[in-house]
Amino acid sequence: MRASTFLTSTFFAATALAHGNIVSPPVRQAGAVTQQVCGAQAVSALTTDITGPLENVASNGSPDCNIFLCKGIQFEDNQNNVQEFAAGEQVDFAAEIPIPHEGPCNVSVVDLATNTLVGQPLISFASYADEALAQLPLNNTQFSVTMPTDLGTQCQQPGECALQWFWFGTNAQQTYEDCVDFVMTA
Ligand SMILES: *[C@@H]1O[C@H](CO)[C@@H](O)[C@H](O)[C@H]1NC(C)=O
Ligand SMILES: *[C@@H]1O[C@H](CO)[C@@H](O)[C@H](O)[C@H]1NC(C)=O
Ligand SMILES: [Cu+2]
Protein backbone atom coordinates (compact mmCIF):
# COMPACT_ATOMS: atom_id res chain seq x y z
CA MET A 1 0.00 0.00 0.00
CA ARG A 2 2.64 2.47 1.04
CA ALA A 3 4.94 1.35 -1.72
CA SER A 4 2.32 1.83 -4.38
CA THR A 5 1.44 5.27 -3.03
CA PHE A 6 5.11 6.15 -3.15
CA LEU A 7 5.45 4.91 -6.72
CA THR A 8 2.37 6.75 -7.82
CA SER A 9 3.52 10.04 -6.37
CA THR A 10 7.02 9.53 -7.77
CA PHE A 11 5.57 8.84 -11.18
CA PHE A 12 3.38 11.91 -10.93
CA ALA A 13 6.36 14.06 -9.97
CA ALA A 14 8.37 12.66 -12.87
CA THR A 15 5.70 13.55 -15.36
CA ALA A 16 4.68 16.87 -13.89
CA LEU A 17 7.94 18.46 -12.79
CA ALA A 18 11.45 19.24 -13.90
CA HIS A 19 13.63 16.82 -15.89
CA GLY A 20 16.78 18.54 -17.18
CA ASN A 21 18.33 21.43 -19.05
CA ILE A 22 21.57 23.20 -19.89
CA VAL A 23 22.35 26.12 -17.59
CA SER A 24 25.54 27.32 -19.29
CA PRO A 25 26.54 28.40 -21.94
CA PRO A 26 23.35 30.42 -22.52
CA VAL A 27 20.76 28.46 -24.50
CA ARG A 28 17.92 29.54 -26.78
CA GLN A 29 14.90 31.06 -25.07
CA ALA A 30 11.44 31.19 -26.60
CA GLY A 31 10.05 34.63 -27.45
CA ALA A 32 7.70 36.46 -29.78
CA VAL A 33 8.97 34.93 -33.02
CA THR A 34 8.71 31.42 -31.61
CA GLN A 35 5.14 32.23 -30.63
CA GLN A 36 4.39 33.32 -34.21
CA VAL A 37 5.97 30.18 -35.67
CA CYS A 38 5.02 27.47 -33.15
CA GLY A 39 2.04 28.99 -31.34
CA ALA A 40 1.23 30.24 -27.87
CA GLN A 41 0.65 26.78 -26.45
CA ALA A 42 4.18 25.67 -27.36
CA VAL A 43 5.73 28.81 -25.91
CA SER A 44 3.72 28.36 -22.74
CA ALA A 45 5.01 24.79 -22.35
CA LEU A 46 8.57 25.90 -23.10
CA THR A 47 8.55 28.75 -20.60
CA THR A 48 6.49 27.14 -17.81
CA ASP A 49 9.06 24.34 -17.43
CA ILE A 50 12.35 24.93 -19.23
CA THR A 51 13.47 21.45 -18.11
CA GLY A 52 10.56 19.57 -19.66
CA PRO A 53 10.75 17.01 -22.46
CA LEU A 54 9.91 17.86 -26.06
CA GLU A 55 7.02 15.40 -25.89
CA ASN A 56 5.29 17.93 -23.60
CA VAL A 57 5.54 20.67 -26.22
CA ALA A 58 2.66 20.66 -28.69
CA SER A 59 3.48 22.13 -32.09
CA ASN A 60 0.78 24.10 -33.83
CA GLY A 61 1.50 21.98 -36.91
CA SER A 62 3.15 24.76 -38.92
CA PRO A 63 5.79 23.30 -41.27
CA ASP A 64 8.20 25.97 -39.98
CA CYS A 65 7.86 24.69 -36.41
CA ASN A 66 10.12 21.73 -35.71
CA ILE A 67 9.97 21.02 -31.98
CA PHE A 68 12.80 18.50 -32.42
CA LEU A 69 15.22 21.17 -33.65
CA CYS A 70 16.26 23.42 -30.75
CA LYS A 71 12.85 22.78 -29.09
CA GLY A 72 11.24 24.74 -31.92
CA ILE A 73 12.74 27.93 -30.47
CA GLN A 74 13.55 30.37 -33.24
CA PHE A 75 16.93 32.00 -33.83
CA GLU A 76 15.27 35.40 -34.30
CA ASP A 77 14.39 35.43 -30.59
CA ASN A 78 18.05 34.82 -29.74
CA GLN A 79 20.07 37.12 -31.97
CA ASN A 80 21.61 38.84 -28.94
CA ASN A 81 22.56 35.49 -27.46
CA VAL A 82 25.12 34.25 -29.99
CA GLN A 83 28.35 32.93 -28.47
CA GLU A 84 31.76 33.26 -30.11
CA PHE A 85 34.03 30.23 -30.09
CA ALA A 86 37.45 29.57 -31.61
CA ALA A 87 38.63 26.38 -33.28
CA GLY A 88 40.02 24.06 -30.62
CA GLU A 89 38.48 26.08 -27.80
CA GLN A 90 37.25 24.16 -24.77
CA VAL A 91 33.64 25.06 -24.01
CA ASP A 92 32.43 24.21 -20.52
CA PHE A 93 28.83 23.10 -20.03
CA ALA A 94 26.75 23.04 -16.87
CA ALA A 95 23.55 21.00 -16.81
CA GLU A 96 20.80 20.47 -14.26
CA ILE A 97 19.15 17.06 -14.06
CA PRO A 98 16.49 17.27 -11.34
CA ILE A 99 14.78 14.12 -12.65
CA PRO A 100 17.20 11.74 -14.37
CA HIS A 101 16.13 9.21 -17.01
CA GLU A 102 18.78 6.79 -18.23
CA GLY A 103 19.63 6.94 -21.92
CA PRO A 104 22.10 8.23 -24.51
CA CYS A 105 23.19 11.86 -24.69
CA ASN A 106 25.45 13.92 -26.89
CA VAL A 107 26.43 17.44 -27.90
CA SER A 108 26.88 18.11 -31.61
CA VAL A 109 27.34 20.98 -34.02
CA VAL A 110 24.08 21.26 -35.95
CA ASP A 111 23.61 22.96 -39.32
CA LEU A 112 20.38 24.78 -38.53
CA ALA A 113 19.19 25.29 -42.12
CA THR A 114 19.26 21.58 -42.88
CA ASN A 115 18.96 20.15 -39.35
CA THR A 116 21.96 17.91 -39.96
CA LEU A 117 24.98 17.18 -37.82
CA VAL A 118 28.28 18.76 -38.77
CA GLY A 119 30.88 16.08 -38.15
CA GLN A 120 30.76 13.69 -35.24
CA PRO A 121 29.29 14.50 -31.82
CA LEU A 122 31.76 16.51 -29.71
CA ILE A 123 30.87 14.44 -26.67
CA SER A 124 28.76 11.34 -26.37
CA PHE A 125 27.43 9.39 -23.40
CA ALA A 126 26.18 5.86 -24.00
CA SER A 127 24.42 5.98 -20.62
CA TYR A 128 23.48 9.38 -19.20
CA ALA A 129 21.32 10.43 -16.25
CA ASP A 130 20.96 6.90 -14.86
CA GLU A 131 18.40 7.16 -12.08
CA ALA A 132 19.49 3.72 -10.80
CA LEU A 133 22.80 5.20 -9.60
CA ALA A 134 23.04 6.51 -6.05
CA GLN A 135 24.69 9.59 -7.50
CA LEU A 136 25.10 10.74 -11.09
CA PRO A 137 28.70 10.99 -12.36
CA LEU A 138 29.92 14.57 -12.13
CA ASN A 139 30.37 14.65 -15.90
CA ASN A 140 26.59 14.43 -16.39
CA THR A 141 26.20 17.98 -15.08
CA GLN A 142 29.70 19.36 -15.71
CA PHE A 143 31.45 18.51 -18.94
CA SER A 144 33.35 20.23 -21.70
CA VAL A 145 33.59 19.92 -25.45
CA THR A 146 36.39 20.98 -27.77
CA MET A 147 35.31 23.03 -30.77
CA PRO A 148 36.23 21.43 -34.11
CA THR A 149 39.23 22.70 -36.04
CA ASP A 150 37.97 21.58 -39.46
CA LEU A 151 34.84 23.68 -39.98
CA GLY A 152 36.38 25.72 -42.81
CA THR A 153 33.99 28.57 -43.57
CA GLN A 154 31.06 26.84 -41.85
CA CYS A 155 29.42 28.32 -38.77
CA GLN A 156 30.67 31.88 -39.29
CA GLN A 157 27.23 33.51 -39.71
CA PRO A 158 24.87 33.96 -36.75
CA GLY A 159 21.96 31.55 -37.07
CA GLU A 160 23.93 29.09 -39.18
CA CYS A 161 25.02 26.67 -36.46
CA ALA A 162 24.26 25.72 -32.88
CA LEU A 163 25.72 23.35 -30.34
CA GLN A 164 22.84 21.04 -29.55
CA TRP A 165 22.62 19.00 -26.36
CA PHE A 166 20.46 15.98 -27.04
CA TRP A 167 19.39 13.46 -24.42
CA PHE A 168 16.82 10.69 -24.74
CA GLY A 169 15.48 8.89 -21.67
CA THR A 170 15.00 5.37 -22.99
CA ASN A 171 12.42 4.06 -20.51
CA ALA A 172 10.79 7.45 -20.03
CA GLN A 173 10.62 7.88 -23.84
CA GLN A 174 11.43 11.55 -23.30
CA THR A 175 13.65 13.76 -25.44
CA TYR A 176 15.58 16.75 -24.13
CA GLU A 177 17.34 19.39 -26.19
CA ASP A 178 18.97 22.73 -25.68
CA CYS A 179 20.71 24.84 -28.31
CA VAL A 180 23.64 27.22 -27.93
CA ASP A 181 23.81 29.57 -30.92
CA PHE A 182 27.39 30.33 -31.86
CA VAL A 183 29.75 31.63 -34.51
CA MET A 184 33.32 30.54 -35.03
CA THR A 185 35.86 33.31 -34.78
CA ALA A 186 39.09 33.18 -36.75
C1 LIG B 1 22.76 11.63 -30.02
O2 LIG B 1 21.86 11.36 -28.97
C3 LIG B 1 20.54 11.17 -29.40
C4 LIG B 1 19.64 11.15 -28.17
O5 LIG B 1 20.07 10.24 -27.24
C6 LIG B 1 20.46 9.92 -30.24
O7 LIG B 1 19.14 9.69 -30.67
C8 LIG B 1 21.37 10.11 -31.44
O9 LIG B 1 21.41 8.93 -32.19
C10 LIG B 1 22.77 10.49 -31.02
N11 LIG B 1 23.50 10.88 -32.20
C12 LIG B 1 24.68 10.38 -32.50
C13 LIG B 1 25.28 10.85 -33.77
O14 LIG B 1 25.26 9.60 -31.78
C1 LIG C 1 31.57 10.12 -17.46
O2 LIG C 1 32.01 9.57 -16.23
C3 LIG C 1 31.80 8.16 -16.13
C4 LIG C 1 32.10 7.75 -14.71
O5 LIG C 1 33.33 8.21 -14.31
C6 LIG C 1 32.65 7.48 -17.19
O7 LIG C 1 32.46 6.09 -17.13
C8 LIG C 1 32.25 7.98 -18.56
O9 LIG C 1 33.10 7.44 -19.56
C10 LIG C 1 32.33 9.50 -18.64
N11 LIG C 1 31.73 9.90 -19.91
C12 LIG C 1 32.23 10.86 -20.66
C13 LIG C 1 31.54 11.16 -21.95
O14 LIG C 1 33.21 11.50 -20.35
CU1 LIG D 1 11.57 13.65 -17.41
pLDDT in tens, 53-69: 999 999 999 999 999 99
The pTM (predicted TM-score) of the whole model is 0.91
Q: What is the distance between the alpha carbons of residues 148 and 18, in angstroms, rounded to a whole number?
A: 32
Q: Is residue 9 part of a domain?
A: no
Q: Is the CB of 139 under 6 A from ligand 2?
A: yes
**Domain count along the chain:** 1
Q: Is residue 86 part of a domain?
A: yes
> How many CA atoms lie within 13 Å of 72's alpha carbon, on the beta-carbon side?
33
Q: Any idea what the CATH number is for the domain that residue 158 is in?
A: 2.70.50
Taking CA atoms only, the protein residue closest to ligand 2 atom 5 is 137
Q: Which domain holds residue 159?
A: 19-185
Q: Is residue 144 part of a domain?
A: yes
User: What Cα–Cα distance (Å) separates residue 10 from each residue in 6, 19, 129, 150?
Assistant: 6, 13, 17, 46
Q: Is residue 13 part of a domain?
A: no
Q: Is residue 2 part of a domain?
A: no
Write the pLDDT tens digit of every residue in 76-117.
999 999 999 999 999 999 999 999 999 999 999 999 999 999
Taking CA atoms only, the protein residue closest to ligand 2 atom 9 is 125
Q: Is residue 5 part of a domain?
A: no
Q: Is residue 74 part of a domain?
A: yes
Q: Is the CB of 124 under 6 A from ligand 1?
A: yes
- What is the number of the ligand 2 atom nearest to the C-alpha of 140? 1
* Least distant ligand from the CA of 101: 3
Q: Is the CB of 170 under 6 A from ligand 1?
A: no
